[in-house]
Structure 1
Amino acid sequence: MRALSYGLGQQYFEERDYRGAIRALKPVVDETPDDVGTRLLLARAYYHAALLKPAEEHLLEVIEREPTEYYAHLMLARTLERQSRRDEAGKHRRIAAALTGDDEILEAHTH
């Protein structure tokens, strides 16, 4: 069941049906809270659905479990920027840049 829900969530995400992805992925994350990959995909779906508070909460959970997951830091920076929280975002951009060695990450992009 879990693999089916994850696959469906991934398919919804790829089709840009972010709310469908959230519905499919949320039960998987609830069942397996330590699965960083699924939680990161769920956070991305929340971000793209403009549900920024749940996106932030899940990204913080990912970072707590995997502090070196650079993409979670980058997504958290973008999420905070969309909430006009640039100072907090800068910290996570710097961490992502340090983890990847890519200074271009330091340039804020607003989507």
Structure 2
Amino acid sequence: MNDTYYSHGTAADRWTRAHLFFDAKEYDKAARVLTGLVDEVPEQLAPRLLLARSYYHSAQLRKAETELRSIVERNPVEHYAQLMLGRTLERQGRGSEAAAHLRLAAALSGDFPD
């Protein structure tokens, strides 16, 4: 498929297409669709979070980290982004850095260990 396939259609069409790719576990294709969408609407959380998840699941961990840091910078109380950032850092072998994000995610979600 050429690049116009990934950027073709309305934002709603591309959002739907990205979800279809993501649900089919074609994370790299979902990311290609979402990159343009995030560029168009950088303030919207959902496309940026799905892009970060697509990067994470396709083992593009540096890109996932970049997106997740952008999310938590704009919205530090977004607990799922904090959790994903912690998991992304863990996968990169950066456990001590991950711990703070994982603790914050737990606190924000009310999921405290017993």
What TM-score, normalized by structure 1, do the two folds share? Answer: 0.91
Among 22, 25, 29, which residue is 2:31 paired with? 22
User: 2:12 maps to what in 1?
Assistant: 3
User: 2:109 maps to what in 1?
Assistant: 100
Pairing 1:89–2:98 present: yes
In structure 2, distance between residues paired with 1:103 and 1:89: 17
Pairing 1:70–2:79 present: yes
In structure 1, distance between residues paired with 2:75 and 2:50: 14
What TM-score, normalized by structure 2, do the two folds share? Answer: 0.88
Aligned length: 104
- Equivalent position SS for 1:103: coil
Residue 103 of structure 1, CA deviation: 2.4
- The percentage of aligned residue pairs carrying the same residue is 48
User: 1:46 maps to what in 2?
Assistant: 55
C-alpha RMSD over aligned residues: 0.8
Q: Which has the larger radius of gyration?
A: 2
Consecutive aligned runs of 4 or more in structure 1 exceeding 2 Å deviation: none
Residue 84 of structure 1, CA deviation: 0.4
Residue 51 of structure 1, CA deviation: 0.1
- Equivalent position SS for 1:79: helix
Spell out, residue by residue over 1:60-81, the C-alpha distance to the aligned partner (whole angstroms, 9 max, x if none): 1111111111000000011000
Residue 12 of structure 1, CA deviation: 0.5
- Equivalent position SS for 2:31: helix
* Alignment gaps of 5+ in structure 2: 1-9
